[in-house]
Structure 1
Amino acid sequence: MTDDEPTSTRNLDRYGNAPLPWSRARDVLAADTPTADLTFFVATVRPDGRPHSAGAGAVWVANALYVVGGPGTRRSRNLAGNPACSISVRLRGLDLILEGDARRVADSGTAARLAEVYRSGGWRATASGAALTAPFSAPSAGPPPRHLYRLALRRAAGVASAEPHGATCWEFAEA
């Protein structure tokens, strides 16, 4: 078993549809990031326990989801204190929620590889050590340099809005 395969699958559908395969979500993430116009929302927890959610640039690379955030953003400050988060996105035919721990990437080689992926989608990112810089970004990303975070996936849930319909929860081994 690879770390990308769910350890368990639970059918959440109440209309008789079969469980959705994880490969459906994974394959759309791989095909559509970073080129499709997708908005990912990262939900984190503030130090006082209140939730925080903001849009973020995200890419799926080598069976993992990566998001960016400047060091001064509420998202990055929350993740520094508590890496638990959820990330939501509406994909082609599938609404998806990913849950796990987002840890800051400290490897400059990974940053260089991800900068290349982001550039293929139109964001002119370059690696600066283990962070990214670019001449522009969404305001929610904060000023450069922007840290990269890798989501260690623990749970995902998908609801299909296109055939075949269904709703499924996938659990993953702790990373």
Structure 2
Amino acid sequence: MSTNDPEVRFDERFSDPGSGATPWETVRGVLESAQLFWITTVRSDGRPHVTPLVAVWLDGQLHFTTGAAEQKAVNLGGNRQVALTTGCDHWDRGLDVVVEGVAVRVTARPALERLAAAWAAKWNGEWRFRVTADGFAHQDGGASLVFAVRPAKVLAFAKGGFGQTAYRFDGGRLAEPRT
């Protein structure tokens, strides 16, 4: 099973009668087009840390950046399991999506070059990065680490015809991303 062919499970317990599974293509479209995600990491004392960020879906993985001294980067040093969420703020329409997986640094120059181009294309050039040996450099000179999250599990919550669909990848194992 790959991120192109997930195992799909529709959960009738949390869905309206007559509703059905959200197609993976629809969920992937949300991941590709979302302008904002919220990432949840875990602090060393077990408390959650949640913060917004921009991310890019590329090659079946969700990618994000962070400064090395930012709380999420510090948290990832001790626990690389994350959840990234996106969707809309309406209870009766739209689709909310949660991606669970392991965040792994991306350091291979060809992958970083492709990701820098993807960020620039997604936001019409507003997010431009220069590739460095450690990740990305911003136009203002700040540095960012780049991470990839290969989904172990994705949850889609359809609203206004409520339906909950789970997608499992590689048997739901928290697999290492391909970097």
User: What's the TM-score once normalised by structure 1's chain length?
Assistant: 0.83
Flag structure 1 segments of 5+ consecutive residues without an equivalent. 137-142
The residue aligned with 2:137 is 133
Matches within 5 A, 1:56-67: 56-67=53-64
Contact 1:6–1:172 under 8 Å retained in 2: yes
SS in 2 for 1:157: strand
Partner of 2:27: 25
Residue 83 of structure 1 pairs with residue 115 of structure 2: no
RMSD: 2.1
Change (3 A) 1:165 1:23: farther
Where 1:155 maps in the other structure, the secondary structure is strand
**AA paired with 2:30?**
V
Q: Distance in 2 between matches of 1:21 and 1:111?
A: 30
How many residues in Structure 1 have an aligned counterpart in Structure 2?
Answer: 163
CA distance in 2, matches of 1:47, 1:5: 35
Residues 93-104 of structure 1 correspond to what in structure 2 (within 5 A)?
93-104=94-105
Contact 2:101 2:153 in 1 (8 A): yes
Q: Distance in 2 between matches of 1:165 and 1:48?
A: 36
Q: Is the 8 A contact 2:10 2:20 kept in 1?
A: no
Q: How does 1:1-175 map to 2 (within 5 A)?
A: 1-11=1-11, 12-30=14-32, 32=33, 38-90=35-87, 93-120=94-121, 121=123, 122-135=126-139, 144-161=142-159, 166-173=163-170, 174=173, 175=175
TM-score (norm 2): 0.82
Cα deviation, residue 29, structure 1: 2.3
Percent identity between matched residues is: 28
Query: Secondary structure in 2 aligned to 1:150?
Result: strand
CA contact (8 A) 2:154 2:166 kept: yes
